[in-house]
Amino acid sequence: MDGLSLVAEPGSVFGLLGPNGAGKTTTIRMILDILQPDSGEVRWAGRRVDADLRRTFGYLPEERGLYPKDKITDQLLFFGRLHGMQTADARARMAQLFEAFGLTEKLSSKPIELSKGNQQKVQFIAAILHRPPLLVLDEPFSGFDPINVEVVKGAVRELVAGGTAVLLSSHRMEQVEELCQQICIIDRSRAVVSGDLREIKRSWPDRFVHMTALADMTFLDRFPGAAARTGGDGVVAIKLAPQTDPAELLRAAVGCGPVDHFEIVEPSLTDIYLHYVKPEDSAA
């Protein structure tokens, strides 16, 4: 990583974005004191992160697993104790979380007896069991079906409401957009944009228009710098150059066919991401 600096606030979600191989996992490992930076430091609540502090953090890695043949309750107690919990406290908290995630009947199961989705839930519980002040989530939604994605999102919101700082690394733009207040996009080991997501969107120079897709979109050629992306729902997202007036675009469009829908919108996170990260940067 090169000159990276970021701040995660308690009670908010910080999104870490970037193509594969950009350095997201390396950043997370430095935050968790698994890798040591050549220079610079990681601090939490004014204190330099050391073994004791790190033990209080929660971490849900992208590549994760459980001991396949050990009972999940035993494993969670083990993880809880590694994070400094007392057995009785870990048990009580486990029961509470299992109920919240609809897993109460699975308490005495082994991971090999669980569906992938339920295994993922257990892993998520392992990461939050000890009530971490900082929760690092690396691709938390991969492997979840839409219903369980909502369950996990709900759990994240609840933790944030309780004052937890969440660092979320994901490729799922819509979820990052939904959950994060701050973001940082990393590309080739450097932060290319960082800050409050709403602020970034508001100060974005390009204008964005969502309108009905017309059979003939050639009118766009009259607007230098305009680029269109057609979605499956019959709506086309158009990026306009900063100097273009959207009203002019509407006038031109109406001349080409019936426009049922025309909306001036802020850039989406995908637009911002694609602005900074070029296809050749993605390692995958």
Which is closer to other proteins, CB of 48 or CB of 55? 55
Residue pair 100/156 in contact (Cβ under 8 Å)? The answer is no
Does position 14 interact with other proteins (CB under 8 A)? The reply is no
* Window 39-78: residues binding other proteins (CB under 8 A): 51, 54-55, 57-70, 74, 78
Minimum separation from the CB atom of position 83 to other proteins (A): 5
Residue 116 Cβ vs other proteins, minimum distance, rounded to whole Å:
13
Q: Which residue reads 């850039």 in tokens?
A: 267
Residue with token string 């031109």: 252
Q: Smallest distance from the beta carbon of 6 to other proteins, in angstroms?
A: 18
- Residue 38 engages other proteins in binding (rule: CB under 8 A): no
For the record, the structure tokens of 47 come out as: 């204190």
Buried/exposed 83-99: b ≥16 CB within 10 Å, e otherwise? bebeeeebeebbeebbe
How many residues bind other proteins (CB under 8 A)? The answer is 30
Q: Count of H helices and E strands in the chain? A: 10, 12
Contact positions with other proteins (CB under 8 A) in 183-212: none
Nearer to other proteins, 152 or 191 (CB): 152
Using the structure block, give the residue that is written with the tokens 């003939």: 216
For other proteins, the closer CB: 78 or 223: 78
- In 125-259 the beta strands, taken as DSSP E runs, fall at 134-138, 165-169, 182-187, 190-196, 207-212, 227-230, 235-240
- DSSP state, residue 214: P
Q: Does 19 bind other proteins (CB under 8 A)?
A: no
211 by DSSP, 3-state: which? strand
**Cβ-based nearer residue to other proteins, 90 or 197:** 90
Binding mask 97-136 vs other proteins (x if CB under 8 A, - otherwise)? --------------------------x--xx--------x
Residue 90 interacting with other proteins (CB under 8 A): no
At 147, which helix (H) or strand (E)? helix 146-161
d(CA 1, CA 228): 34
Instruction: Give the footprint of other proteins on this chain (CB under 8 A).
Output: 29, 32, 34, 51, 54-55, 57-70, 74, 78-79, 81-83, 123, 126-127, 136
